[in-house]
């Protein structure tokens, strides 16, 4: 499938990519939103609670993700389900984005592809939707979560709500979590936290019906896309966690999407040069 040239191609329909698409719609710019899942939400769907978004009461991640989808529908913004393979800049200042469902062309590209989990001895982070539907999850009576950051603690709360016995295994003497999240986890009787828990200790804790999950960090998903254009190429924008790492702050992602929309407007409509998301008059 081949598309005519649009103003902007957005890759990734998480909070950053979706907020960018909505703002571009308000600017009357023609945007094409592509996501490998075919629906919006991104990793926020896995969050136990979104409680740091100004003006919003604490909200379950899947509820927040649905709000994103509802907003896109309200603005009549569709999503193309495709896996992006390459991004190339042509001599005529047109970007060509190749996917497993065809080729798309645009005057600007925004990569909001988010992050990928760092594996632990071949064990990876599983998104809750795919995890709970798996036979392995159904048969497990105990879950070990490897990691001492917010992702591991947030993960444990969701699994606790599913009536699973959860142990968080932290390699060091301290976690990287403070405040409300830590207190909530510590208040759960079915969540245990074990410190100084290295690979040998994890192996001792595991049994036949133990499911081991990793939450030891994330890295940019840009590594899955072949980008032949320079990352500082005018018209190419890397936004959200794909640029900043796994910040886990939905407000930052949404704000980055809106800010990038303003930069794209100035680039396309007024000829202001934008390099690496920095405006140069």
- Domain spans of the chain, in order of start: 6-116+219-280, 119-216
215 has a pLDDT exceeding 70: yes
Instruction: Yes or no: say if 243 and 276 are a contact pair by the CB < 8 Å rule.
Output: no
CA distances from 194 to 172, 207, 209, 259, 262 (A): 9, 16, 19, 42, 47
Give the model's confidence band at 280: pLDDT under 50 very low, under 70 low, under 90 confident, else very high. Answer: very low
44 has a pLDDT exceeding 60: yes
Q: Which of 230, 120, 23 is nearest to 7 (CA)?
A: 23
Give the model's confidence band at 272: pLDDT under 50 very low, under 70 low, under 90 confident, else very high. Answer: low
Q: Which of 220, 223, 219, 217 is nearest to 242 (CA)?
A: 220
Q: What is the mean pLDDT of residues 157-178?
A: 92
Q: What is the mean pLDDT of residues 58-83?
A: 96
Q: How far apart are CA 18 and CA 77, in angstroms?
A: 9
Architecture, CATH, for domain 119-216: 3-Layer(bba) Sandwich (3.50)
The structure's pTM equals 0.90
pLDDT one-digit tens code per residue, 254-264? 999 999 999 99
pLDDT one-digit tens code per residue, 123-164? 878 888 888 888 788 888 889 999 999 999 999 999 999 888
Task: Report pLDDT for 278.
Answer: 43
Radius of gyration of the chain (CA): 20
Q: What is the mean pLDDT of the chain?
A: 89
- Strands 218-220, 115-117: pairing kind: antiparallel
Q: What is the mean pLDDT of residues 211-230?
A: 91
Task: Report pLDDT for 122.
Answer: 78
Helix (H, G, I), strand (E, B) or coil at 280: strand
Task: Report pLDDT for 273.
Answer: 57
Task: Report pLDDT for 139.
Answer: 85
Task: Report pLDDT for 14.
Answer: 96
Give the model's confidence band at 279: pLDDT under 50 very low, under 70 low, under 90 confident, else very high. Answer: very low
Task: Report pLDDT for 281.
Answer: 34
Choose between 277 and 122: higher pLDDT. Answer: 122
What percent of the chain stands above pLDDT 90? 66
Same fold yes or no, 6-116+219-280 and 119-216? yes
Choose between 164 and 109: higher pLDDT. Answer: 109
**Among the four given CATH numbers 3.90.230.10, 3.40.190.10, 3.50.50.60, 3.30.300.30, the one describing domain 6-116+219-280:** 3.50.50.60
Task: Report pLDDT for 175.
Answer: 93
Helix (H) or strand (E) segment spanning residue 111: strand 102-111
pLDDT one-digit tens code per residue, 6-41? 999 999 999 999 999 999 999 999 999 999 999 999
Give the DSSP letter of residue 131.
H
207 has a pLDDT exceeding 50: yes
Q: How far apart are CA 215 and CA 203, in angstroms?
A: 17
Task: Report pLDDT for 128.
Answer: 85
């Amino acid at each position: 499938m081949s598309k005519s040239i649009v103003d902007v191609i957005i890759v990734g329909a998480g909070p950053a990519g979706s907020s960018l698409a909505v703002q571009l719609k308000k600017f009357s710019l023609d945007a094409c939103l592509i996501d490998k899942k075919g629906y919006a939400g991104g990793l926020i769907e896995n969050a136990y609670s979104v409680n740091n978004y100004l003006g919003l009461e604490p909200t379950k991640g899947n509820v927040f993700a649905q709000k994103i989808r509802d907003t896109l529908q309200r603005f009549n913004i569709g999503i193309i389900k495709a896996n992006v393979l390459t991004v190339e800049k042509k001599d005529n200042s047109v970007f060509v984005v190749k996917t497993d469902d065809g080729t798309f062309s645009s005057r600007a590209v925004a990569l909001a592809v988010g992050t990928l989990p760092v594996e632990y001895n071949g064990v990876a982070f599983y998104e809750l939707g795919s995890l709970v539907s798996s036979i392995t999850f159904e048969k497990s009576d105990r879950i070990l979560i490897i990691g001492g950051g917010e992702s591991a603690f947030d993960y444990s709360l969701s699994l606790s709500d599913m009536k699973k016995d959860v142990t968080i295994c932290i390699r060091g003497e301290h976690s990287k979590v403070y405040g409300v999240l830590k207190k909530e986890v510590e208040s759960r009787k079915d969540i245990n936290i074990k410190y100084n828990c290295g690979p040998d200790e994890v192996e001792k804790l595991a049994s036949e019906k133990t499911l081991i999950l990793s939450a030891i960090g994330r890295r940019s998903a840009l590594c899955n896309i072949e980008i032949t254009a320079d990352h500082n190429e005018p018209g190419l924008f890397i936004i959200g966690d794909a640029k900043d790492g796994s910040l886990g702050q939905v407000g930052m992602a949404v704000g980055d999407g809106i800010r990038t929309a303003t930069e794209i407007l100035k680039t396309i409509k007024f000829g202001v040069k934008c390099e690496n998301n920095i405006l140069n008059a």
